[in-house]
Structure 1
Amino acid sequence: MSVLVEVCIDSIESLPIAERAGAKRIELCSSLATGGLTASAGYMKAAARVAGIPVYGIIRPREGDFLYSGDDVEIMLEDIHTAKQAGLNGVVIGALQADGKIDETIVGDMIKAASGIGITFHRAIDHCSAPFDALEFLMAHKVERILTSGLAKRAEDGIEMLKDMAAFTQGRLSIMPGAGVSPDNAKRIIDATGVTEIHLSGKTTRQSHMAFKNENATMGNGDDFAITVTNPETIKDTLAALTR
């Protein structure tokens, strides 16, 4: 069985690294440290220009929950338009109501806005109080796949729910496990669930090439001179594990 490996990235530097390592689809994000936020228009255009594999842009205007205001929705619909104009192959969307159920109105509007390109529903499903109702809605609206940890912190811990989701959907949409996926557990997750796609970042850091470093000034809580990039060996090792 062939397994498609999707890699999430948050820099244009990582895109060719992931592609050369064997990724077959990219989830384009900024700020992976906060779970992934919408890429800028320039970043989307650059990704579409250099990629030789499909690129799906996450549509998430802020970190935190998936309960969105009218202003948030306006931004997301505009960002979907931007993704289409930039030439991306798809978008990654999601929205919930305060009671944890899928927000059918907002998600429906985003699906309409994304007409003509692919759609993944993101890990909002893992915070959903009625995930199987959400799956019914998403299947009815021809969403391609959901990215999910099986409602757990890590996909490896959500295997039973991932199996239930795959059985429930019966191939009408793809269940794509993600969160904590690594070369050590990818094959176990695939073998246990029978799914055909898997998602990981495989990220590491590299040191800045700056010759001058003022380490007394910081831009946030992290290290300003540690740059997040895809680790090609992690992607290669995951692919190798999946074929063993």
Structure 2
Amino acid sequence: MNTEIEVCIDNLESLHNALSGGANRIELCSSLALGGLTPSLGMMKQAARISSVPVYAMIRPRQGDFIFDDDDMFCMLEDIEACASSGLDGVVLGVLAPNGSIDMPKMHKLANKAHSLELGITFHRAIDQSSDYQTALEQVITLGCKRVLTSGLAANAEQGIDILSDMVKQADGRIDIMAGAGVNATNAKMIQNTTQVPALHLSGKSTRPSLMENNSSAQMGNSDIDDYQVPVTDANKISDIKVALTA
């Protein structure tokens, strides 16, 4: 099986690195430290210019849960249009109701907008917070999504292997199950062989030192974040997974 490797990034330096490492698809975000938020319009446009592989943009207007009100929905619908006008290939999204079920009325609005603009859809890890993943998977399929990103409802994909396997069997080729969270070169082949997922998702995260020549004690954000370390995707972590999968 040829396993797709999707790399999630939140800066354009990481896009270059992900492509260099052999990524098959990009999930474009801002703020990966918050689980990924919607990228800016400028970032969408430049990613479309740079990338030689499909780019899907995260549509998530804020951090926190996946319960979105009417203001959030307005933003999400506008951001889906921005993805299309920027030349991207798809969107990554998900909306839940307070009881943990998929909010189908809102998902239909978002999915219909994406389909009308010929954008592919990935349903993201909101499914890992759902109250009934088997029902949720069937609903995601009816929405016309191309794939669902999931850790198998666990803290990471390795711990979620049993449910990932169940999802692949239930999907039966109707939708791709993409395993994400904690995927690396050490466990990628085991996860793929055990579950038969057709796609793996990771950030390949690392850091590089800031190019600033002078340091300051001023903090731009939380005190536990080092402004002089820049998070970037490591191209070698992506290429190492591709090698591991063929070993």
TM-score bracket for this pair, using the shorter chain length: over 0.9
Identity of aligned residues (%): 51
Deviations 1:85-142 (A, max 9, x none): 1111000010000000000011111101101111000000000002111111121222
Say yes or no: does 1:73 pair with 2:73. yes
For residues 93 and 183 of structure 1, what CA distance do their matches in structure 2 show? 27
* Structure 2 residue aligned with 1:31: 31
**What pairs up with 1:110-129 in 2 under 5 angstroms?**
110-115=110-115, 116-129=118-131
For residues 229 and 151 of structure 1, what CA distance do their matches in structure 2 show? 26
Where does structure 1 differ by over 2 angstroms across 4 or more consecutive aligned residues?
none
**What pairs up with 1:131-210 in 2 under 5 angstroms?**
131-210=133-212
The letter of the residue matching 2:244 is A
Q: Secondary structure at the match of 1:157?
A: coil
For residues 167 and 125 of structure 1, what CA distance do their matches in structure 2 show? 17
For residues 67 and 89 of structure 1, what CA distance do their matches in structure 2 show? 25
* Structure 2 residue aligned with 1:220: 221
The letter of the residue matching 1:76 is M
Unpaired segments ≥5 residues, structure 1: none
Deviations 1:27-59 (A, max 9, x none): 000111010000000000000011000000000
For residues 110 and 228 of structure 2, what CA distance do their matches in structure 1 show? 37
Deviations 1:200-235 (A, max 9, x none): 000100011011221x10012201111111101111
TM-score under structure 1 length normalisation = 0.98
The letter of the residue matching 1:226 is Q
For residues 35 and 137 of structure 1, what CA distance do their matches in structure 2 show? 23
> CA RMSD, aligned part only?
0.7
For residues 140 and 95 of structure 1, what CA distance do their matches in structure 2 show? 15
Q: Secondary structure at the match of 1:206?
A: strand
The letter of the residue matching 1:20 is S
The letter of the residue matching 2:242 is L
For residues 203 and 189 of structure 1, what CA distance do their matches in structure 2 show? 19
Q: Secondary structure at the match of 2:8?
A: strand
Unpaired segments ≥5 residues, structure 2: none
* Structure 2 residue aligned with 1:18: 18
